[in-house]
Amino acid sequence: MTDAVSTYADIVERLSAEPGVWHSDRKGFGRNGLKINDRMFALLIGEDLLLKLPRSRVDWLIASGDGKPFDPTHGGVMKEWVLARPSGAVPWLDLAREAMAFVSSAPPGNRRG
């Protein structure tokens, strides 16, 4: 098991204890990962942690070198998603908690793109 997989497993264990949080391991983007109220906020992609965060936070993580843009379509960067590097200055658990709070604050029916 790689460090990224082990760290992600720890995050899943810790955050799954929070109300409304659950982990899906179904295959395919949007089907697997950590969710709160059926909205995804974090998942492991390779050795990076994909997180849904406010655009300003995404921009900061990219500018600091701790993250990189998420471009699932090779030409369509998703502005509220970032791939956090395992060696970043901000621990993944802290980022996952930020993402959970951000996603849970969206009004019902608003998926925030």
Residue 20: CATH number of its domain: 3.90.1150
Structure token digits, residue 4: 């990224």
Q: What is the mean pLDDT of each run of 10 residues along the chain (113 residues)?
A: 88 95 74 88 94 96 94 80 92 97 81 48
Which DSSP helix (H) or strand (E) runs through 13?
Answer: helix 3-15
Q: How many domains does the chain have?
A: 1
Q: What is the pTM of this model?
A: 0.87
Whether 112 maps to a domain, the answer reads no
Which DSSP helix (H) or strand (E) runs through 64?
Answer: helix 55-64
C-beta separation of 82 from 10 below 8 A: no
pLDDT recorded at residue 86 = 87
Whether 111 maps to a domain, the answer reads no
pLDDT recorded at residue 71 = 85
- Print the domain residue range for 40: 3-104
